[in-house]
Amino acid sequence: MKTIVAVDNNWGIGKNGKLLVNLPEDLKYFKEKTLGKVVVMGRATFESLPGKSPLKGRINIVLSRNPDFNPDCIICRTIDEVFNVLESYDTEDVFIIGGQEIYKQFFPYCSEYLVTRINNVFNADKHFENLDVREDMELVWKSETHIENGIEYQFTEYRRKLFERRTDAGV
């Protein structure tokens, strides 16, 4: 599974249920990466989508404990239910798209993290884990710097390091 997220310099991701900044090229990048794939999100993220509608051209899975929440997409009440549904899909086609609690719950199960790094600090009330301080993560790619609406950002990719178990007698 993969995570896709946009973060500021403090790894902030949102404020008051909204993205920190509107970057049309980042939204285009998000669409390019997720189109034809499976996206997993929480209820609040779903409700922040335009028209509170499923993302077109993608399998939308929403995790919500609210029994009255029933939009036109796949609704799961527990993380175990999500994993049961995901058994029908290739894990390479699954993207975790937020919000904060969903990112936290699925973090251990993802191997790739597509992170738009916004060179700015916003007054965020939701955050993503700082991948730069984790020993089990490595930055494997970054784009050139983009500037949009006066804001600099880069597309980056992090991967979870695979630790090989040593088999020699010294370990």
45: region left, alpha or beta (phi > 0 left; psi from -120 to 50 alpha): alpha
Q: Between the CA of residue 103 and those of 37, 90, 169, what are the distances in Å? A: 17, 19, 39
pLDDT along the chain (171 residues), means of 10: 98 96 97 98 96 96 93 95 98 97 97 98 98 97 97 98 57 44
C-alpha 80: how far from chain center? 19
- Which domains, from first to last, does the chain contain? 2-160 (3.40.430.10)
Instruction: Note the pLDDT of residue 85.
Output: 98
Instruction: Note the pLDDT of residue 166.
Output: 45
Within 13 Å of residue 124, how many CA atoms lie on the same side as its CB?
21
**Three-state secondary-structure class, residue 109:** helix
DSSP-derived secondary structure letter, 77: S
Instruction: Note the pLDDT of residue 151.
Output: 98
The rounded distance, in Å, linking the Cα atoms of 111 and 116 is 17
The rounded distance, in Å, linking the Cα atoms of 60 and 58 is 6
Instruction: Note the pLDDT of residue 162.
Output: 79
